[in-house]
Amino acid sequence: MSDALAPWLQQQLSALLAQRGHAWLLHGPSGLGQYRLGLELVRAWLCETPTPQGACGQCGSCHAIEVRTHADLCVLMPETVMMALGWPLGEKAQADIDDKKRKPSKEIRVDAMRDTVEFSQRTSARGRGKAVLVYPAERMNNVTANALLKTLEEPPGDARFVLASEAAHQLLPTIHSRCLGHTMLWPDEASALAWLQQQGVGAADAAAVLRAAGGRPDDALQFLQSGLDLKTWSLLPRAMARGDASALAGWAPAQAVDALQKLCHDLLAGSVGGAPRYFNPADLPMASTAALARWSRELARTARTVEHPFNAGLMLEALVSQARNALNSKA
Ligand SMILES: [Zn+2]
């Protein structure tokens, strides 16, 4: 796996570094590299010998970030995300989780925000200012968002902020107005395919997995890392038409809903003569537009509660049954 910054992210990094701004909001749909771009931006800000292209990768500051112990960098993330991305939790939080007092939080916690506010008021340890990276910013609730807002409104001297979001519409409008916005760019297909191959994806699979991820390279990689295989993906439409629940066996409910929303999207597009985005057209059965529109609304309802399903097994069964009805309905 190559660690070089993808060319479309490098281009955005140089453009951001050429501008001033103490708070950036990087936004766009998932899978376009918000986290990586945010991290590269703070790395460049803190680097001792930065270039217009970014951090040097060699200095003490770059090294400190690499080993996740930079005194002037604060990453504010849900605990589950910190763990997945290899950032250490605070001592207390880690002890609570180790002692099974609670589970790692999927939201950005109020105590973590308090630590961040305190961090931003301290003086910089290495003398190059301080940086706060918030990701995914939409996982702040109103209390944490308001605490951050105060800090953004009265920037405490030498702290700079990057908020990276995959659902910026969920952020308070006041957060938007306090940040400079940057809309994540989509890579063209050839660059995305080349990048996937550098990450070790076979040439034959790269195009199919990029399609399954709707053209978003990070999501494509995640697709393969989450254990989904392309054969299951291509058989999914027919399996759903048969009501074959085994096709979704072992899937997390959120993953299943996401896949079915993509399937429904493609079938709806096909039913009105449009091109599918996620599936190979040859894998898609025909279905009625009205039934698909109903199914799309059902899926949207389910998506809102999918993080807390009453019973994951029952939810998958219900999803398959809805899918079968939609795919076999004549009107
Ligand atoms: Zn450096």
199-213 burial by CB neighbour count: b if 16+ within 10 A, else e?
bebeeebbebbbbbb
> Over the stretch 219-228, which tens digit does the pLDDT of each residue have?
999 888 888 8
Ligand 1 geometric centre to CA of 60 (Å): 7
C-beta of residue 80 within 8 angstroms of C-beta of residue 31: no
Distance 280 CA to ligand 1 centre (A): 44
| Centre of ligand 1 from the C-alpha of residue 174, in Å | 33
Ligand 1 geometric centre to CA of 79 (Å):
27
Low pLDDT (below 70) residues in the chain: 1-2, 155, 309, 331
The residue among 329, 3, 41 whose CA lies nearest residue 182 is 41
CA of 131 to the centre of ligand 1 (A): 14
| DSSP assigned state of 57 | S
pLDDT in tens, 254-310: 889 999 999 999 999 999 889 999 999 999 998 899 999 999 999 999 998 887 767
User: What pLDDT score does 251 carry?
Assistant: 85
Q: What is the pTM of this model?
A: 0.85
The Cα–Cα gap between 326 and 240 comes to: 9
Query: In angstroms, what is the span from residue 40 Cα to ligand 1's centroid?
Result: 11
* Ligand 1 midpoint to CA 264 (Å): 47
What the block records as the tokens of 218 is 């990070």
**Cα 37 to ligand 1 centroid, rounded to whole Å:** 16
Nearest to 279 by CA among 292, 268, 288: 268
Question: Residue 155: what pLDDT?
Answer: 67
Ligand 1 center to 58 CA (angstroms): 5
Question: Do 213 and 224 form a contact (C-beta atoms < 8 A)?
Answer: no
How many whole angstroms from 6 Cα to the centroid of ligand 1?
19
* R_g of the chain, CA atoms, integer Å: 22
CB-CB contact of 178 with 149 (8 Å): yes
> What is the CA(46)–ligand 1 centre distance, in A?
7
